[in-house]
Amino acid sequence: MTTRDHQILNALPYPLVLLGGDQRIVAMNPPAVERLGAGLIGRSYVSLRQPALLDCIEQVFRTGQAGRTRYPGTGLDRDRTWSVLAAPLPEGILVSFEDVSELEQAGQARRDFVANVSHELKTPLTAMLGFIETLRGAARDDATARERFLGIMQREAERMNRLVNDLLSLSRVESDERMRPTAEIRLGDLVQSVIASLRPVAEPLGVTIDIDCSVDSQTIVRGDADQLTQVFFNLIDNAVKYGRDGKRVQVHMERVSRDSSLRGPAYHVTVQDFGPGFDPIHIPRLTERFYRVDSHRSREMGGTGLGLAIVKHIVNRHRGRFRIESTPGNGACFTVSLPAVA
Amino acid sequence: MTTRDHQILNALPYPLVLLGGDQRIVAMNPPAVERLGAGLIGRSYVSLRQPALLDCIEQVFRTGQAGRTRYPGTGLDRDRTWSVLAAPLPEGILVSFEDVSELEQAGQARRDFVANVSHELKTPLTAMLGFIETLRGAARDDATARERFLGIMQREAERMNRLVNDLLSLSRVESDERMRPTAEIRLGDLVQSVIASLRPVAEPLGVTIDIDCSVDSQTIVRGDADQLTQVFFNLIDNAVKYGRDGKRVQVHMERVSRDSSLRGPAYHVTVQDFGPGFDPIHIPRLTERFYRVDSHRSREMGGTGLGLAIVKHIVNRHRGRFRIESTPGNGACFTVSLPAVA
């Protein structure tokens, strides 16, 4: 083992373990120490312990041919999946580890996603099929039942339709999350027009929407108008629906000369309701797809379970921050921070 | 540059380029030559040409600090996305490339999938909403229209329901594709029972399903009974529906002492119809999700666009082969080969 070997191994980002001809561990680079543990230098390769890995190495020593294996980590690296190459050197073996966890997780994420979407659709579809059957059979000549069932069917179909639209929105936002939007948007005007479009929803529920705005309505941010409209629509619509008992939604807009998480001047838009709020324990998961504080209530309100996930992704794309606060009994407060144009 | 450096670089599976203190390329391992081209040894690092990569290297030479970059490949590696680390050595730089294409593709695949599913659902949902509106309005008191609309709505809802079920099936099959099923299945009995369950569908269409079977009905294969049932159900159901003009579906089952693609004895089950068939140009894409030879016709038949994708994944899980043939005007033929228990 030369210093030069060390230099090369240490210049590489993946875990590497060098074994000598005597089957002992000669060198490990820092990623290997981090994943496999310290204090292994000079010990036999069997100290690496992972059965699939040991089998693979043992075979390379026996045959002189390179070997590959793949296994889920345990202990220090239990959240990882490794793909390993053990390549023979004139003396000893160089073992390199490739972390394939993200790929495995991407596959798992897709399966979870399919399972969630299917679950969201199965219930309303089953209900629809039941109503259709009843309308063609038992309730064939019952005009009152018909009107009622058709009303429920319409709500369910509209909710499924919203779900499909939300899925498409989310997918689009994710695909251009790396491209920062560049149009100049008048933030105050945009928020005002969202409020105007939601008043017809709020009034029948007895909810007023107030705005107090300490900034010029002509304030410019760099953004995507459709996406920012969706952000404030989702937040204010939620506040009206879930906070309806509080009878009031307060929208507040201000300029902050230095936002520490954005490292510069920013605009903060806060949407506050005075309804029941929720246990803060839910906050970290609220922006996950299909996570709901109260599934039954969310569905009753026509929610798709995707609204806050969409908000989070749009705000990320705008290089902003999204913060949620709530005290049970005291309403909930959602804050969007967007970088101000310098 | 020593032989030892070469040995280490060549024992690693990812592309590696070693630059000397004079900014020339000293060594490249085989994966690097394959991706970046041959004949670069001894030339300046600017021969690597990728602008993002050159900027990164230039900065490492200037600052002595490791640098990272990420870029989509061009030329020889145009289908790849690379994440690169350039780490300083006492003399020169070691540049290592990580191929992150699969991860990028997994993201793209998910977005395509969402777009496809949304598209499949939007049309029937829009139709449903239209019918519901008409039934609550213009056609309120029209019993004939009501019966007709409810019939269409039921078909659409059933098809959406099948789509959701097929999505779940596909997701489940994919998630256990690596685990080979182990139960002992009587293949002949299983195929016979699928045929029996489909006769009530075939008869009203004037289609007969014949089986000619040169093997013992007790023939055993290793498999998953539910999944194999789904394979033959999908194939025979398709043959009945798309080949109905041919009035006959022929199922053939035989043992092959050596199947060259399976490298051993196998059972072949062939489902042949005598309908219009299709242009063989479609064959390579027929097992893709949502690919259809004729979208309109497929939807009319109640197809979800997922049937053959499910067949392919189930057959893969069984370490078998799936083959499609067709001559326009002469029907289509689908063959499933499954390894015989030795």
Task: Give tens-digit pLDDT for A143-164.
Answer: 899 999 999 999 999 999 999 9
Q: Chain B interface, mutation test: which of A103, A112, A118, A159, most B Cβ atoms within 10 Å? A: A118
| Residue A117 contacts B where some CB pair is shorter than 8 Å | yes
* Interchain proximity A13–B98, CB inside 8 Å: yes
Amino acid at B332: A
Best B132, B140, B170, B313 member to test A by mutation, with max A CBs in 10 Å, is B132
Are B5 and A4 inside 8 Å of each other by CB? yes
A8, A107, A117: residue with CB nearest B8: A8
Tens-place pLDDT, residues A217-230: 678 999 999 999 99
Q: What is the pLDDT of residue B116?
A: 86
Contact A60, A71 (CB under 8 A): no
Q: Are A317 and A173 in contact (CB under 8 A)?
A: yes
CB–CB of B164 and A89 under 8 A?
A: no
Which residue of chain A is at minimal alpha-carbon distance from B104? A103
Mutate to test the interface with A, among B7, B71, B100, B113 (most CBs of A within 10 A): B7
Which pair of structure tokens corresponds to residue B201?
């569908």
Which residues of chain A neighbour B165 with C-beta distances below 8 Å?
Answer: 118
User: How would residue A342 be classed by pLDDT, with cut points 50, 70 and 90?
Assistant: low
Q: What is the pLDDT of residues A166-178, one digit of tens each?
A: 988 888 888 888 8
Q: Are B214 and B269 in contact (CB under 8 A)?
A: no
Terminal alpha carbon distance of chain A:
55
Residue B14 forms contact with A (CB below 8 Å): yes
Structure-derived torsion over alpha carbons of residues B258, B260, B266, B267, reported in degrees to the nearest 10: -110
**Would an 8 Å CB–CB cutoff place A142 in contact with chain B?**
no
A138 inside 8 A of chain B by CB:
no
| Interface size between A and B, measured as CB pairs under 8 A | 162
State yes or no: pLDDT of A68 exceeds 60.
yes
Q: Is the pLDDT score of A82 beyond 80?
A: yes
A 151-190 residues with CB < 8 A to B: 151, 153-154, 157-158, 160-161, 164-165, 167-168, 170-171, 174-175
Q: Is A139 helix (H, G, I), strand (E, B) or coil?
A: coil
- Locate A320 and state its tokens: 């902003």
pLDDT of residue A110: 79
CA angle B318, B324, B328 (to 5 degrees): 165
- Across the interface, whether the CB atoms of A153 and B132 are under 8 A apart is answered yes
Residue A110 forms contact with B (CB below 8 Å): yes
Residue A128 contacts B, CB cutoff 8 Å? yes
Min Cα distance B313 → chain A (Å) is 14
Tell me if residue A68 falls in helix, strand or coil. Answer: strand
Q: Which two tokens stand for residue A157?
A: 């179909």
DSSP string of B79-92, one letter each residue: T-EEEEEEEE-SSS
The full DSSP string for A271-305 is EEE-S----GGGGGGTTSTT--SSHHHHHHTT--S
Contact state of A125 with B7 under an 8 Å Cβ cutoff? no
Q: What is the pLDDT of residues A197-247, one digit of tens each?
A: 999 999 999 999 999 988 876 789 999 999 999 999 999 999 999 999 999
Q: Do A89 and B128 touch (CB under 8 A)?
A: no
Pairing of strands B248-259, B208-213: parallel
Nearest CA in chain A to B123: A161
B21 to chain A, any CB pair closer than 8 A? The answer is no
pLDDT, greater one: A180 or A178: A180
**Tokens read off for A184:** 């100049």
CA distance A181 to chain B (A): 20
pLDDT for res B217: 67
pLDDT tens digits, A110-138: 788 888 888 889 888 999 999 999 999 98
Q: What is the pLDDT of residues A8-35, one digit of tens each?
A: 999 999 999 999 999 999 999 999 998 8
The yes-or-no verdict on residue A74 having pLDDT over 80 is: no
pLDDT exceeds cutoff 60 at A1:
no
According to the model, what pLDDT value does residue A223 have? 95
Percent of the residues in chain A that have a pLDDT greater than 70, as a whole number:
99
User: CB–CB of A110 and B109 under 8 A?
Assistant: yes
DSSP designation for B45? G
Chain B contact for A79 (CB, 8 A cutoff) = no
Instruction: Please give the angle made by the CA atoms of A28, A31 and A35, to the nearest 5 degrees.
Output: 90
Average pLDDT, chain A: 91
| Inter-residue contact A274 to A331 (CB < 8 Å) | yes
Residue A239 pLDDT: 96
B58 touches chain A (CB under 8 A): no
- Tell me the C-alpha distance between B5 and A94, whole Å: 12
Task: Work out whether strand B16-19 and strand A332-339 pair parallel, antiparallel, or are unpaired.
Answer: unpaired
Domains and CATH numbers, chain B: 3-99 (3.30.450.20), 101-175 (1.10.287.130), 180-342 (3.30.565.10)
Q: What is the pLDDT along chain B (342 residues), one digit of tens a residue?
A: 468 888 999 999 999 999 999 999 999 999 999 888 899 999 999 999 888 999 999 999 999 999 999 988 877 777 788 999 999 999 999 999 998 888 888 777 778 888 888 888 988 899 999 999 999 998 888 889 999 999 999 999 999 999 999 988 888 888 888 889 999 999 999 999 999 999 999 999 999 999 998 887 678 999 999 999 999 999 999 999 999 999 999 999 999 999 988 999 999 999 999 999 999 999 999 999 889 888 888 888 888 899 999 999 999 999 999 999 999 998 999 999 999 986
Q: What is the pLDDT of residue A161?
A: 92
pLDDT at residue A77 is higher than 80 = no
DSSP character for B76?
Answer: G
Closest Cα in chain A, distance from residue B126 (Å): 8
Separation of alpha carbons A123 and A112, rounded Å:
17
C-beta neighbour count of B121 within 10 angstroms: 21
Cα-based distances in Å from A295 to A157, A158, B41: 18, 18, 63
For residue B334, the model assigns a pLDDT of 98
**Within 13 Å of residue A232, how many CA atoms lie on the same side as its CB?**
29
